[in-house]
Amino acid sequence: MKGFVFTFRNNQKALHLPDIRKSGTDLKQLLSRFGIQTVFSVLFLLGLTVGAASGRSFSSETFEKLDMLFVTNIDARMQMSVFDIFVSCFVSYFIFIFCIFLSSFSAWGIATIPLLSALKGFTVGLSTAFIFSRYQLSGIGFYILVVLPGAVLFLFTLIRYATYGFRLSGRYLRMTMFGTERVPDFRKHMKSFVKKTIFSLLSVCGCAVTDMILWILFANKFQF
Protein backbone atom coordinates (compact mmCIF):
# COMPACT_ATOMS: atom_id res chain seq x y z
CA MET A 1 0.00 0.00 0.00
CA LYS A 2 1.50 3.31 -1.13
CA GLY A 3 1.54 6.30 1.11
CA PHE A 4 1.52 9.95 0.23
CA VAL A 5 3.72 12.43 1.99
CA PHE A 6 2.55 16.00 1.91
CA THR A 7 5.01 18.81 2.60
CA PHE A 8 3.98 22.32 3.39
CA ARG A 9 6.31 25.27 2.75
CA ASN A 10 6.12 28.31 4.90
CA ASN A 11 6.53 31.36 2.70
CA GLN A 12 6.96 33.67 5.67
CA LYS A 13 10.47 34.96 6.25
CA ALA A 14 12.16 34.04 9.46
CA LEU A 15 12.46 36.77 12.03
CA HIS A 16 16.11 37.42 12.76
CA LEU A 17 16.85 38.73 16.21
CA PRO A 18 19.70 41.22 16.55
CA ASP A 19 23.04 39.83 17.59
CA ILE A 20 23.76 41.36 20.98
CA ARG A 21 27.47 40.79 20.67
CA LYS A 22 27.59 42.50 17.29
CA SER A 23 25.50 45.40 18.54
CA GLY A 24 27.92 45.86 21.40
CA THR A 25 30.81 45.94 18.98
CA ASP A 26 29.02 48.51 16.82
CA LEU A 27 28.39 50.65 19.89
CA LYS A 28 32.06 50.57 20.79
CA GLN A 29 32.97 51.58 17.25
CA LEU A 30 30.52 54.48 17.37
CA LEU A 31 31.90 55.64 20.71
CA SER A 32 35.49 55.40 19.49
CA ARG A 33 34.64 57.32 16.34
CA PHE A 34 32.20 59.95 17.58
CA GLY A 35 32.67 59.89 21.37
CA ILE A 36 35.15 62.78 21.48
CA GLN A 37 33.05 64.86 19.09
CA THR A 38 30.01 64.25 21.28
CA VAL A 39 31.90 65.39 24.38
CA PHE A 40 33.07 68.56 22.64
CA SER A 41 29.53 69.25 21.44
CA VAL A 42 28.24 68.90 25.00
CA LEU A 43 30.97 71.24 26.27
CA PHE A 44 30.02 73.76 23.59
CA LEU A 45 26.38 73.61 24.66
CA LEU A 46 27.35 74.03 28.31
CA GLY A 47 29.44 77.07 27.45
CA LEU A 48 26.57 78.39 25.35
CA THR A 49 24.17 78.03 28.27
CA VAL A 50 26.50 79.74 30.73
CA GLY A 51 27.23 82.55 28.27
CA ALA A 52 23.56 83.13 27.54
CA ALA A 53 22.76 83.22 31.26
CA SER A 54 25.51 85.73 32.08
CA GLY A 55 25.25 87.94 28.98
CA ARG A 56 23.29 90.72 30.64
CA SER A 57 25.85 91.19 33.41
CA PHE A 58 28.51 92.47 30.99
CA SER A 59 28.68 96.13 30.01
CA SER A 60 28.73 97.47 26.45
CA GLU A 61 32.30 98.72 26.93
CA THR A 62 33.49 95.21 27.69
CA PHE A 63 31.98 93.85 24.49
CA GLU A 64 33.45 96.66 22.41
CA LYS A 65 36.95 95.86 23.69
CA LEU A 66 36.51 92.17 22.79
CA ASP A 67 34.88 92.67 19.41
CA MET A 68 37.24 90.10 17.85
CA LEU A 69 35.52 87.38 19.89
CA PHE A 70 31.99 88.78 20.14
CA VAL A 71 29.75 89.91 17.30
CA THR A 72 28.16 92.67 19.32
CA ASN A 73 29.41 96.04 18.06
CA ILE A 74 26.99 96.08 15.14
CA ASP A 75 27.15 99.85 14.63
CA ALA A 76 30.92 99.73 14.09
CA ARG A 77 30.71 96.84 11.64
CA MET A 78 28.02 98.62 9.66
CA GLN A 79 30.62 101.25 8.75
CA MET A 80 33.26 98.72 7.66
CA SER A 81 34.16 97.92 4.08
CA VAL A 82 33.47 94.50 2.61
CA PHE A 83 37.08 93.41 3.07
CA ASP A 84 37.17 94.64 6.68
CA ILE A 85 34.04 92.64 7.47
CA PHE A 86 35.66 89.52 6.01
CA VAL A 87 38.85 90.07 8.01
CA SER A 88 36.91 90.71 11.22
CA CYS A 89 34.86 87.52 10.84
CA PHE A 90 37.90 85.49 9.79
CA VAL A 91 39.94 86.61 12.80
CA SER A 92 37.14 85.75 15.24
CA TYR A 93 37.16 82.18 13.89
CA PHE A 94 40.91 81.87 13.30
CA ILE A 95 41.77 82.59 16.94
CA PHE A 96 40.21 79.33 18.07
CA ILE A 97 41.75 77.28 15.25
CA PHE A 98 45.17 78.73 16.02
CA CYS A 99 44.86 77.99 19.75
CA ILE A 100 43.82 74.40 19.03
CA PHE A 101 46.75 74.05 16.62
CA LEU A 102 49.25 75.12 19.27
CA SER A 103 47.65 72.96 21.95
CA SER A 104 47.73 69.88 19.72
CA PHE A 105 51.55 69.80 19.81
CA SER A 106 51.69 69.85 23.59
CA ALA A 107 50.92 67.45 26.41
CA TRP A 108 48.43 69.84 28.02
CA GLY A 109 46.32 69.99 24.85
CA ILE A 110 44.08 67.21 26.17
CA ALA A 111 42.96 69.72 28.83
CA THR A 112 43.02 73.02 26.91
CA ILE A 113 41.28 71.84 23.73
CA PRO A 114 38.04 70.85 25.52
CA LEU A 115 38.16 74.20 27.32
CA LEU A 116 38.44 75.98 23.97
CA SER A 117 35.29 74.24 22.76
CA ALA A 118 33.46 75.38 25.89
CA LEU A 119 34.92 78.89 25.51
CA LYS A 120 33.61 79.18 21.96
CA GLY A 121 30.17 78.18 23.15
CA PHE A 122 30.47 80.75 25.94
CA THR A 123 31.30 83.55 23.48
CA VAL A 124 28.39 82.59 21.21
CA GLY A 125 25.96 82.49 24.12
CA LEU A 126 27.28 85.74 25.52
CA SER A 127 26.98 87.65 22.26
CA THR A 128 23.54 86.16 21.60
CA ALA A 129 22.21 87.28 24.98
CA PHE A 130 23.72 90.74 24.54
CA ILE A 131 22.23 91.28 21.06
CA PHE A 132 18.81 89.99 22.12
CA SER A 133 18.71 92.18 25.24
CA ARG A 134 19.97 95.32 23.52
CA TYR A 135 18.18 95.19 20.17
CA GLN A 136 15.08 93.12 21.05
CA LEU A 137 13.16 91.86 17.97
CA SER A 138 15.51 93.51 15.50
CA GLY A 139 18.43 91.82 17.21
CA ILE A 140 16.75 88.41 17.01
CA GLY A 141 16.10 88.75 13.28
CA PHE A 142 19.59 90.10 12.69
CA TYR A 143 21.19 87.24 14.58
CA ILE A 144 19.20 84.56 12.77
CA LEU A 145 19.82 85.96 9.27
CA VAL A 146 23.33 87.37 9.59
CA VAL A 147 25.24 85.80 12.46
CA LEU A 148 23.81 82.32 13.00
CA PRO A 149 24.57 80.63 9.62
CA GLY A 150 28.30 81.29 9.78
CA ALA A 151 28.41 80.35 13.46
CA VAL A 152 26.75 76.99 12.76
CA LEU A 153 29.13 76.26 9.88
CA PHE A 154 32.11 77.09 12.06
CA LEU A 155 30.79 74.88 14.85
CA PHE A 156 31.12 71.79 12.65
CA THR A 157 34.63 72.84 11.65
CA LEU A 158 35.62 73.52 15.25
CA ILE A 159 34.33 70.24 16.68
CA ARG A 160 35.94 68.18 13.95
CA TYR A 161 39.28 69.98 14.14
CA ALA A 162 39.29 69.90 17.94
CA THR A 163 38.83 66.13 17.77
CA TYR A 164 41.90 65.77 15.55
CA GLY A 165 43.92 68.04 17.82
CA PHE A 166 42.83 66.21 20.96
CA ARG A 167 43.94 62.86 19.54
CA LEU A 168 47.29 64.27 18.41
CA SER A 169 47.86 65.78 21.85
CA GLY A 170 47.14 62.39 23.41
CA ARG A 171 49.71 60.77 21.11
CA TYR A 172 52.23 63.44 22.04
CA LEU A 173 51.58 62.77 25.72
CA ARG A 174 52.08 59.02 25.26
CA MET A 175 55.28 59.62 23.29
CA THR A 176 56.92 62.08 25.70
CA MET A 177 55.67 60.88 29.08
CA PHE A 178 55.12 57.15 28.73
CA GLY A 179 57.08 56.15 25.62
CA THR A 180 54.20 54.07 24.27
CA GLU A 181 53.98 56.05 21.02
CA ARG A 182 56.75 55.66 18.46
CA VAL A 183 58.27 58.77 16.92
CA PRO A 184 57.72 57.65 13.28
CA ASP A 185 54.04 56.96 14.01
CA PHE A 186 53.66 60.36 15.66
CA ARG A 187 55.27 62.09 12.68
CA LYS A 188 52.85 60.33 10.35
CA HIS A 189 49.87 61.51 12.37
CA MET A 190 51.41 64.98 12.64
CA LYS A 191 51.62 65.28 8.85
CA SER A 192 48.00 64.17 8.57
CA PHE A 193 47.02 66.77 11.18
CA VAL A 194 48.77 69.54 9.23
CA LYS A 195 46.75 68.59 6.14
CA LYS A 196 43.56 68.70 8.21
CA THR A 197 44.65 72.12 9.49
CA ILE A 198 44.85 73.44 5.93
CA PHE A 199 41.38 72.07 5.21
CA SER A 200 40.05 73.65 8.42
CA LEU A 201 41.51 77.03 7.44
CA LEU A 202 39.77 76.78 4.08
CA SER A 203 36.55 76.01 5.96
CA VAL A 204 37.12 79.07 8.14
CA CYS A 205 37.52 81.16 4.99
CA GLY A 206 34.21 79.74 3.78
CA CYS A 207 32.55 80.71 7.08
CA ALA A 208 33.97 84.23 6.86
CA VAL A 209 32.79 84.58 3.26
CA THR A 210 29.33 83.42 4.33
CA ASP A 211 29.27 86.05 7.08
CA MET A 212 30.47 88.72 4.67
CA ILE A 213 27.78 87.93 2.10
CA LEU A 214 25.03 87.87 4.72
CA TRP A 215 26.23 91.18 6.15
CA ILE A 216 26.06 92.74 2.68
CA LEU A 217 22.63 91.32 1.91
CA PHE A 218 20.76 91.71 5.19
CA ALA A 219 22.62 93.93 7.67
CA ASN A 220 21.29 97.19 6.22
CA LYS A 221 17.70 95.86 6.36
CA PHE A 222 17.62 96.28 10.12
CA GLN A 223 17.30 99.50 12.03
CA PHE A 224 19.07 99.68 15.36
* Nearest one of 63, 206, 213 to 146, comparing CA atoms: 213
Answer whether residue 33 is part of any domain.
Answer: no
Answer whether residue 18 is part of any domain.
Answer: no
* Range(s) of the domain holding residue 185: 39-47+58-221
For residue 120, how far is the Cα from the chain centroid? 9
Q: Rounded to whole angstroms, how far apart are CA atoms 154 and 91?
A: 12
pTM value is 0.81
Q: Give me the number of domains the chain comprises.
A: 1
Answer whether residue 7 is part of any domain.
Answer: no
Answer whether residue 6 is part of any domain.
Answer: no
Neighbours of 130 (CB within 10 A): 23
Answer whether residue 2 is part of any domain.
Answer: no
Answer whether residue 171 is part of any domain.
Answer: yes
Answer whether residue 154 is part of any domain.
Answer: yes
Answer whether residue 98 is part of any domain.
Answer: yes
Encode the chain (224 residues) as per-residue pLDDT tens digits.
445 444 445 555 444 545 545 555 565 665 566 789 999 999 999 999 998 888 767 766 766 666 666 665 676 677 788 898 899 899 989 999 999 999 999 999 999 999 999 999 998 988 888 888 878 888 888 889 998 999 999 999 999 999 999 999 999 999 988 888 899 999 999 999 999 999 999 999 999 999 999 998 988 887 76
Sequential DSSP letters for 47-115:
HHHHHHHHGGGS-HHHHHHTTTT-TT-HHHHHTS-HHHHHHHHHHHHHHHHHHHHHHHTSTTHHHHHHH
